[in-house]
A and B are shown apart, each in its own frame.
Chain A
Amino acid sequence: MLIRRPDDIPSSLITPKDQYLNRRRFLRGTASGLATAGAAALGLDRLANVISPRTRAFAGTKLETVKSPLSTTGEQLTSLEDITHYNNYYEFGVDKGDPAKNAGALPTRPWTVKVEGLVKQPKTFDIDALLKLRPLEDRVYRHRCVEAWSMVIPWVGYSLSEFIKQCEPLSNAKYVQFLSYYDKHVEKWTNESTIFWPYSEGLRMDEAMNPLTLLTFGMYGEVLPNQDGAPVRIVVPWKYGFKSAKSIVTVKFVEKEPHTTWNDQNGREYGFYSNVNPNHDHPRWSQKTERRIGQPFYAQRKATLMFNGYADQVASLYNGMNLDKYY
């Protein structure tokens, strides 16, 4: 059974109730320098602070990781506090702070990923089996949202291509579709938008097989916080962030380009490819620059890089494609 019994949890991980309540008050915005310093010093417990009791048993679980040559260097990491309190996860509310407040409702165990469609044989993978499939790598990636802000995130996972090999797709599988968890009884905030759920995303087969595409299980050496897409998501660092689907439950191999949620909402604004491209503006704002999250308000905007700076690894996928047409 995956659910740890109380005597399995070392007492060092159990937060005294008054401290726990104090941290919740802190998270609700009654900030003070002392509280910030205190929380920062808490090491192991830090991820346990940011989600509510239901999945706290798994929060802060450390993952054994190895270094990866595919990790991005030379960038300052965005703080865990910012990565876990500035999220677009509309199933849990449309404000940036809502997922941190509400995603505690997401049940991350038990969890399976179904593999369907054009494969040799449909399979179901348990999350714990997926965690053991390949060594987990530390991969720092830039993360660029279509809203023109960006972060630098130390993800934990392995290349999606390793998982795809296990799925044994047929030769006519040209695309991979990802479906995220959806339960309207759990995700009670879906009426804050007119989006149809579950969240659907997709990649072309060669994009999915690119070594950069990460089947992601954690960040900062620990399991993913719920609001960041626990327990398993993909990260496609050269595309706008909404392509990196969260909390995946189904992987489907298909022949035709699958529908994707944001493209359904507005095809003119959100194309299937959505490669980071400073030369192709969003209809409502320029994509030439971005705000790096965690900087003071007077900080300069950064110039956006083609393919989010990963052109060396991915530009060849789009040789001959008109990226203004296939945005």
Chain B
Amino acid sequence: MSRSTITLLKTITWILCLWPLAILVWGAVTNNLGPDPIARITFSTGATTLNLLTISLAVTPVRRIVKPLAWIGPWRKLIGLFAFFYATLHLFTYIALYAGFNVQAMMSDIAKRRYITVGMLAWLLLLPLAATSFNWAIRKMGGKNWKRLHKLVYVAAVCGIIHYWWQVKPGVLSPMSNTIILAVLLAVRPVLDWIQDRKPLAAYSRS
């Protein structure tokens, strides 16, 4: 995979990742966000967050299983950071459009409404991950500590899915497909570890 190809692909990825935001901005400007614009914005930013997080969690398993695709490594950080970007937009939608910047109302919500509690937790877990996404952070922390910290992404993803389940009406199954995909992506890691533990002489590398 040549450098210029990777640059091209990364550019395309940027465009694709910004596309959901572009649709929202266009909708807002043309007053075309549907009957319930706040719900549309909230759902769109939340869904994009969860989907991007899920995709970023697929990078490592794909690299481990399909060796020739090892070059997709940089996409984990790229897509992961976009996931944090949309998570922040989602949080900001809540702060601005639902809570109207009312700090007391927000504190009350976070304390009383468990889906907001777990959602807030998910964002707080993603924050240090986003902040340490850069090479200087890895150098400063040391690779081992950095790896440990970034395992929090699994917790954040699970919090995100729980946030979705606790938000929908009881009985509604919309979060199911995301849940299944995420469960597979989380389960595949220990499974791959177990497989590779049984081949100690193979030149596989754990990531």
Contacts and interface: CB of A to CB of B under 8 A. Distances in A.
Interface of A: 31, 33, 78, 81-82, 85-86, 90, 94-97, 149, 191-195, 265-266, 269, 281, 284-286, 291, 293-298, 300-301
A297 B33 contact: yes
A284 B115 contact: yes
B105 to A, nearest CB: 8
A31 B170 contact: no
Nearest to B98: A301
24 contacts: A31-B32, A78-B35, A81-B35, A82-B35, A90-B172, A96-B36, A149-B36, A192-B173, A193-B171, A193-B172, A193-B173, A195-B171, A265-B170, A265-B171, A266-B170, A266-B171, A269-B170, A285-B113, A286-B109, A291-B38, A294-B35, A297-B33, A297-B37, A297-B38
A207 B59 CA distance: 58
A27 to B, nearest CB: 12
Given A82-B35, A86-B35, A297 B174 contact: no
B41 interface: yes
A297 B41 contact: yes
A295 B39 CA distance: 12
| Nearest 3 A/B pairs, CB to CB | A297-B37, A82-B35, A86-B35
Interface string B92-117: 00000100100001000100111100
Nearest to A151: B35
A297 B35 contact: no
A64 to B, nearest CB: 29
A81 B169 CA distance: 25
Contacts of B39: 96, 149, 291
Given A86-B36, A94-B172, 5 more contacts: A85-B35, A97-B34, A265-B170, A281-B112, A293-B35
B149 interface: no
Given A31-B32, A284-B115, A296 B173 contact: no
Interface in B23-40: 28, 30-39
B34 A85 contact: yes
Contacts of B112: 281
A124 B28 CA distance: 50
A85 to B, nearest CB: 6
B173 A284 contact: no
Contacts of A266: 170-171
Nearest to A291: B38
A254 B41 CA distance: 44
A149 B33 CA distance: 15
A191 B173 CA distance: 8
Nearest to B32: A31
Contacts of A301: 100
Interface of B: 28, 30-39, 41, 97, 100, 105, 109, 112-115, 166-167, 169-174
A90 to B, nearest CB: 8
Nearest to B169: A265
Contacts of B173: 94, 191-194
A265 B170 CA distance: 6
Nearest to A285: B113
A296 B113 CA distance: 26
B175 to A, nearest CB: 11
B176 to A, nearest CB: 9
B174 A94 contact: yes
Among B35, B37, B115, B173, residue most surrounded by chain A Cβ atoms (within 10 Å): B35
Contacts of A269: 170
Contacts of A298: 97
A9 B97 CA distance: 48
Nearest to B176: A192
B36 A291 contact: yes
Nearest to A94: B172
A86 B114 CA distance: 27
A301 B35 CA distance: 14
B26 to A, nearest CB: 10
Contacts of B30: 31, 33
Nearest to A82: B35
B172 A86 contact: no
Contacts of B170: 265-266, 269
Contacts of A85: 34-35
B37 A296 contact: yes
A78 B34 CA distance: 13
A93 to B, nearest CB: 10
Nearest to B109: A286
Nearest to A264: B171
A301 B37 CA distance: 12
A265 B37 CA distance: 28
A129 to B, nearest CB: 35
B76 to A, nearest CB: 31
A286 B111 CA distance: 12
